[in-house]
A and B are shown apart, each in its own frame.
Chain A
Amino acid sequence: MRVAILAASMPQQQAVMARRSFFAGYDTGKYYDEMFSSASVARPHYEDVFAALDRYTLAEFEERRRLADLSFLLQGITFTVYSDGRGTERLFPFDLIPRIIPRREWDVLEAGLSQRVMALNLFLQDVYGPQRILRDRTIPRSLVFSCQHFQRQMSGVQVPKGIYTHISGIDLVRDSKTGDFVVLEDNVRTPSGISYVLENRLVMTRTFPKVFETLEILPIDHYPLELIQILRSIAARPAGDPTVVLLSPGIHNSAYFEHSFLAQQMGIELVEGRDLVVDNNICYMKTIRGLTRVDVIYRRIDDDFLDPLVFREDSVLGVPGLMNAYRAGNVALANAVGNGVADDKAIYAYVPDFIRYYLGQDPILRNVETYLCSRPDHLSYVLDHLPELVVKAVGESGGYGMLMGPMSTSDKIEEFRRKLKADPRNYIAQPVIGLSRVPSFDVRTNAVAGRHVDLRPYCLFNGEKVVIVPGGLTRVALEPGSMVVNSSQGGGSKDTWVLRGEQ
């Protein structure tokens, strides 16, 4: 009997071998690993996922991955590259191994993010209002006024309910050295990515339904409801049913999917500049029955393109006269115009000071140590240590205008040296942070390996409190060794879980 059983179980034996290989040989490396505390020991909050994933063979996992990709493609959750005339569609790569944040850690992040968003909003109120912080010299006047995204037109404008930062995406990373989360940058203009958070979750529940049955993962799908409530609350006409629209640059924008997704989820009209018209400082949209008044615009186009009469006159994406309608208080915009002064990478260095100055509190979340090249002492340090530092242009986002010292060529370093000397205000430098890693599936080697991640939670501010859907977007640098997670630079994403209950 015994022999017979053994013989019959031979194929199973092989399956066990293949099964073991899922995490076999996984190297946690010298970085903080979000899943494993040592080579084979999963952290407590990852135990269930580890057990669930370990039941899959690589082939089974690959099959699920393929189906998930297909589902993204058929739903058109893609970026479009228009170089070939017809438009080639690329998936925003999605990695099926989730990123899990322990509940107690999330509670701290939530408090820290709320505090930060409140301070940023207060700073914007102040800087476009009484400018107390400048008179008190907590931040150099010259640094604020030299910011390319400081909009003079906004001085003295009363924005509805005093809200500037309706939606913020704050980028966090976990520093492998300390094991703590730190703030890498603030995005308070038109942060994107929330649609991937919501769609990733949907695909995950379809791909691993059993895992969701056993774990209690905090839901996130109330985001569109929270957002539409805020948008409706800032309507210029208080009574009645306000008309809220989402203003998109159109189908050629890489975030177009997100625009249409959010419009659909919130049940509002997705408009382009050409659908809107301003007459006598009132904004209307053009419908088959004539003009309909618009009360609130969730705009997903940059300040520079909003209104060709005020900003770039070559903009065909915007609406002539929109700024006057906004300043007259007849139409509300989210986010407010001029927010770029708050997420400038040099201003960033002062955000902990904003928290102390406006809220009288100690910052819960740390900044990354930052050298302002506008300061001569910092500049000379930076020039002496370029190969060790990350250099960033202050007004850029999306991983553009950046130097990763340790991974760069000497030519590139020299190029940045020239740039820094020519325009020091435009640059900051930071030490390289060893970003934490999460096991990720490498489609080229068909194996699981550690890949660096960041985290962008989306914070909604209603004028009184900050609402954050648990988790956010985990971006992952899919290239081996890479620390650049931006989608434009080969990054992908992961579903991000915060588990209910004490962890």
Chain B
Amino acid sequence: MLSRIADSLFWISRYMERAEDTARILDVNYHMLLEQSQSTIRLRWEPIVHMTGEQEEFFKLYQTANTQTVFEFLAFDDRNPNSILQCIFHARENARTIRDRISREMWQDINSLYHNVSHFRAEEELAVGPHRFCDTIRFGCHRFHGVSDDTLPHDEGWHFLQLGRALERADMTARIVDVEYHNLVDRVAPGEKADTHQWMAVLKSVAAYEIYRRQYHSRIDPERVAEMLILHPQHPRSIRFNVQTVQQALRAISGTGVGAYANEAERLTGKLMTSLAYDRIEDVFARGLHSFLTEMQKTLRQIGHYVARTYFYYATVA
């Protein structure tokens, strides 16, 4: 497989995942805020901008973070390189450059999603609320993965798709937990209790609310939320689950067995996986949640870097 094609496959699914995650966060928080007082709104939207890592660009363009500005910026703004529309655009451009190597169905699906969302206009969607738009994105992304799984041979190309998606998702969940914990726990004065509704929103934004209820049967406890989003072995959006997917994809690509590694990306993934598999949430808190998650995001970035070094950068001829 051409390096360029592997590179594109990896980024198609990364961009699709980024679009989906951003849409989830927007949608859930918007609906939660409908039942909140005006004063919480700014406090709520600001951290969400931080979550996407685009706060600098955002405050260059807008004065304050409110429903209007954040929705416009995260969903539509071309000046935000990671806006949902830009993500869909980039995913589709990547697909277009390798359309001969993906299935006709995949291409038509991502192409029609692109044409479909290109027709959405920020003003119109703000008027009706972001749900319609976010739903289109969410289901568009789900469908994309479904179509890929069903029409693409599960060969190395498919593994690069899995790799891109899992790496992006692990990173996104790490950001969500980090920002939310800081926002909802650290900033709350002693004695005051964290807002249940906001924690419910966090869980819903990663499709984990129902699983949480079934698993813990208790009121929503921030530590349990963190445990679930970081260490849950089966939840498809937990960090552990996704790091495991990264590991499986890397091994499938290189053909390396358990307990060994063929490149730096595999070594780092294995190390991370060991910690996620054997650490308890108490151990994480003992080390400090924030520094644990910061370290995690750094490692995920390094894994991405070494994947590119190993497979995408072109071999130079001696």
A residues in contact (CB < 8 Å) with B = 73-76, 85-87, 250-251, 256, 260-261, 263-264, 269-272, 274-275, 277, 279, 284-291
Contact = CB atoms under 8 A, between A and B. Distances in A.
A272 B98 CA distance: 11
A73 B115 contact: yes
Contact of B89 (A86, A261, A271, A274): A86
A55 B93 CA distance: 42
A151 to B, nearest CB: 27
Contact of B317 (A73, A260, A263, A291): A291
Interface residues of B, number: 27
B314 A277 contact: yes
Interface in B268-318: 311-312, 314-315, 317
Contact of A250 (B78, B97, B100, B104): B97
Interface in B3-33: 3-4, 6
B111 A75 contact: yes
List the 9 shortest-distance A-B pairs measured between CB atoms, nearest first: A264-B100, A260-B100, A263-B100, A279-B317, A286-B314, A288-B311, A270-B100, A76-B111, A260-B99
Nearest to B93: A251
Given A76-B107, A251-B96, A251-B97, 9 more contacts: A73-B115, A74-B111, A74-B115, A75-B107, A75-B111, A264-B101, A270-B98, A275-B3, A287-B2
Contact of A286 (B96, B98, B315): B315
B100 A76 contact: no
Contacts of A291: 315, 317
B127 interface: no
Given A73-B115, A74-B115, A86-B78, A261 B100 contact: yes
Given A263-B100, A290-B315, A275 B2 contact: yes
Contacts of A290: 315
B interface SS class: helix
Interface string B100-139: 1100100110011001000000000000000000000000
A279 B312 CA distance: 20
Contacts of B253: 288
B97 A288 contact: no
B112 A274 contact: no
B260 interface: no
B95 to A, nearest CB: 9
A231 to B, nearest CB: 15
11 contacts: A76-B108, A76-B111, A251-B97, A260-B98, A264-B101, A270-B101, A275-B3, A275-B314, A277-B317, A284-B317, A286-B3
A74 B317 contact: no
Contacts of B77: none
A288 B93 CA distance: 21
B46 interface: no
Interface of B: 1-4, 6, 78, 89, 93, 96-101, 104, 107-108, 111-112, 115, 156, 253, 311-312, 314-315, 317
A491 B104 CA distance: 27
B253 to A, nearest CB: 8
B99 A76 contact: yes
A271 B2 contact: yes
B159 to A, nearest CB: 11
A454 to B, nearest CB: 29
A251 B8 CA distance: 13
B4 A264 contact: no
A32 B89 CA distance: 47
B3 A287 contact: yes
Most B CB contacts (10 A, CB to CB) among A76, A87, A256, A271 go to A76
The residue among A87, A250, A264 with the most chain B CB atoms within 10 A of its own CB is A264
Contacts of A286: 2-4, 314-315
Contacts of A274: 4, 314
Contact of A288 (B89, B115, B156): B156
A288 B314 contact: no
B97 A269 contact: no
Given A286-B3, A288-B311, A75 B100 contact: no
A76 B99 CA distance: 10
A76 B108 CA distance: 8
Given A73-B115, A74-B112, A277-B317, A288 B100 contact: no
A159 B27 CA distance: 62
A298 to B, nearest CB: 13
A16 B128 CA distance: 46
Contacts of A73: 115
Contact of A76 (B1, B2, B96): B96
Nearest to B97: A251
B55 to A, nearest CB: 24
A85 B79 CA distance: 12
A250 B78 CA distance: 24
Nearest to B118: A86
A15 B6 CA distance: 56
Contacts of A270: 98, 100-101
A263 B2 CA distance: 14
Contacts of A287: 1-3
Contacts of B312: 288
Contacts of B96: 76, 251, 256, 260
Contacts of A251: 93, 96-97
